[in-house]
Amino acid sequence: MSDASSRVNDFVIRFANVNGTGSASANGLFAKAIYRMGIPVTPKNIFPSNIQGLPTWYEVRVSEKGYLGRSGIVDFVVAVNPQSLEEDIASVRPGGYFLYDSSKPLHREMMRDDIHFLGIPMMTLAMKNFTQPREQQLLKNIIYVGALAALLDMDMDVLRGIVAQTFKSKEKLIGPNNLALSIGYNYSKENFKCPLDIRVETRDLIGDRILMEGNLASALGAIYGGASVMAWYPITPSTSVASAFEKYCKRLRKDPDTNQNRYAVIQAEDELAAIGMVIGASWNGARAFTATSGPGVSLMSEFIGLAYFAELPAVIVNVQRGGPSTGMPTRTQQADLISSAYASHGDTKHIMLIPSTPTECFEMTAEALDLADRFQTVVFVMSDLDLGMNDHLTPALKWDDARSYDRGKVYTSEDLENMEKFGRYLDVDGDGIPYRTLPGTHPTKGSYFTRGTSRDEYARYTEKGDAYVRNVDRLVKKWQTAKSWMPKPEHLGNENQNNLGIIFFGTTYYAALEAMEMLQDEGISIDALRLKSFPFPEEVQSFIDNHDEVFVIEQNRDAQMRTLLINELNVSPSKLIPILHYDGMPIPATDICTKIVAHLSVNALRNDSL
């Protein structure tokens, strides 16, 4: 058997559980303990779309160097699910470790001679020490966390501290959980060499960063960004945006004098109704948003087109998942780019903000509300399941209390009083953005008919072609104006130092950074640009123009971001090389590196043969 190489604060551990058995709390306890020991950590929850019974995995990457992307390699598996044993054993890298519940023996044919098997009779120990069946099932999970504490040299005081904090309102649970930790810890100490050559050491590498889900951050961003109305329909993986928004509105959206609610959360009968409510609330002057995923965007398309054409603000947090159709509801992708950018029939284009971290989910959701008002249009916040539903190590959220909301071009009663004639769709300033009014602003002036049909500059219905052309051309001018308001792309490393470049966005960020270091080790230097928005700021065109080839990294089958770059910037397709990953799991750095090296090798062979 090959020995596992010695690793300190550098490994991936995967927990293989059964959905609905209470394992999430135990696995989260492990990840939080690593975090509180000052070591960068990134957990991934890989769960089925049913409620209970199917296999679920929780993968934790521990990385002193701060690599926060998925590794693609598993060093250690904790297996307590008989259904997935064969798959779990196969997933361990040679020389790695496989910890399992030995209350029942493993089948001999499952054994591998190139990994280390560590058997602990978890269920037997739970039944011996606890009386209630449900308690036995739940605390069996805590037993394996205690066993890992000994095997990996974790700080037991940190674990006990988390237990005390978690159950501070249910103190009777603290004792049993601490006992379960001790049972697992003592068993490992008595039966195995502890610690293993895969282990942890306390560090101080976290700084002010916190562990947070992107969906919670988006909900807080909506609250701080001024949203008072949310209409939604439940859909994985966006539902927790709504629940978090409502939870924190109960604390932050109360009238201090009357204690009355100053918000509305409405679960609509479907997605089309939800976006209709958002548009109606925005028309009336409220800041409103919804959260959904790809199937919901498809159903919302009719009203998205109305908002675009009638020029009504709306924000949609799109937490992308695997498609098409129902697809893979609990797997991640970036496959809604085109359907969101051009949502609805006819000629439409929509602003998209693309966060990479929970902190950016917070900031960009707040910014989306400003941009929606400024440009009187739909703005998408393009998150995904990995970002939305997993904890990520991210800078602490900050808000400037002196910040004022950008409500865009809204006429006041005084403006209307001094005006001879109000034209809702007049381009007064030459930037394509008209002025709007809110209901009740003036007793006799400023009213107009909001319609999805063609109209002239004064909102009067018309089917005259020249009026229609003026209107849609003005919408193009507004789109061009929006480019200068978009978040700028981020250059990584030195700008334009090499003839090769990579473009990435969203949750490909973590893997791309690591891949750049791997490529550097291979002697390949590459410039990098992280996209944050659509329409593309001029820096994106400049980056592409300054490189011979640009690799576009994305998590979908059809290279949708590459398509948007070609369509919007008139880039030669041959210049943009797609690096694609779409199996529903977050892209690993090794995948990026391997595909780029393979492409460059083919090019080198082709050039040698000429």
Which domain does 531 fall in, by range?
490-609
Give the domain-ending residue among 467, 487, 507: 487
Mean pLDDT across the stretch 539-555?
97
Rounded CA separation 337/598 (Å):
27
Q: Confirm whether 49 is domain-assigned.
A: yes
State how far the alpha carbon of 373 is from the alpha carbons of 286, 313, 347, 367, 484, in Å: 10, 5, 21, 10, 16
Whether 45 and 169 map to the same domain: the answer is: yes
How many helices and strands in the chain, by DSSP H and E? 19, 22
**Do 43 and 169 share a domain, yes or no?**
yes
For the stretch 250-290, pLDDT in tens is 999 999 999 999 999 999 999 999 999 999 999 999 999 99
Residue where the block lists tokens 């924000």: 315
Is 419 within a domain? yes
Instruction: With a cut of 70, say whether residue 606 has pLDDT above it.
Output: no
Q: Is residue 570 part of a domain?
A: yes
Alpha helices in 484-577 (DSSP H): 508-521, 538-545, 560-569
pLDDT on residue 4: 45
404 domain-assigned = no
Last residue of a domain, one of 487, 511, 531: 487
377-402 burial, b for 16+ CB within 10 Å, e for fewer? Answer: bbbbbbbbbbbbbbbbbbeebeeeee
Residue range 77-109, pLDDT digits in tens: 999 999 999 999 999 999 999 999 999 999 889
Choose the final residue of a domain: 199, 222, 240: 199
Residue 402 lies in a domain: no
Looking at the fold, whether 495 and 482 belong to one and the same domain comes out as no
Structure tokens at 401: 């209390």
Confidence band, pLDDT 50/70/90 cuts, at residue 447: very high
Give the pairing of strands 533-534 and 351-353. antiparallel
Tell whether 383 and 464 lie within a shared domain: no
Q: List pLDDT tens digits, range 21-50.
A: 889 999 999 999 999 999 999 999 998 887
Judge if 164 and 113 occupy the same domain. Answer: yes
Q: Count the domains in the chain.
A: 4
pLDDT at 607: 66
Same domain for 312 and 326, yes or no, is yes
Residues whose CB falls within 8 Å of the CB of residue 574, separated by 6 or more in sequence, listed in order: none
Same domain, 224 and 358: yes
Domain co-membership, 156 together with 14: yes
Q: Average model confidence (pLDDT) for the chain?
A: 95
Residue 111 is part of a domain; what is its CATH number? Answer: 3.40.920.10
Same domain, 185 and 216: no
What gap in Å lies between CA 297 and CA 316, rounded to an integer?
9
Single pTM value for the model: 0.96
Over residues 493-505, the mean pLDDT reads 89
Q: Given the structure tokens 């201090």, which residue do they identify?
A: 256
Give the C-alpha separation, 548 to 545, whole Å.
Answer: 8
Instruction: Identify whether residues 591 and 562 lie together within a single domain.
Output: yes
- CB-count exposure of residue 330 (10 Å: 0-12, 13-18, 19+): buried
Distance CA 378, CA 300 (A): 12
Q: Domain for residue 37, yes or no? A: yes
> Picking from 235-249, 394-408, 592-606, which range would have the lowest pLDDT averaged per residue?
592-606
- Whole-angstrom distance, CA of residue 257 vs CA of residue 510: 46
Tokens of 340: 């969101």
Residues 40 and 171 in one domain: yes
CA distance 294 to 466: 36
143-178 pLDDT, tens per residue?
999 999 999 999 999 999 999 999 999 999 999 999
Structure confidence at residue 610 (pLDDT)? 54
- Residue 236: inside a domain, yes or no? yes
* 238 shares its domain with 180: no
Would you give the DSSP letter of residue 38? T
- What is the 3 state secondary structure string of 224-249? HCCCCEEEECCCCCCHHHHHHHHHHH
Q: 1 lies in a domain?
A: no
Mean pLDDT value across residues 304-316: 98
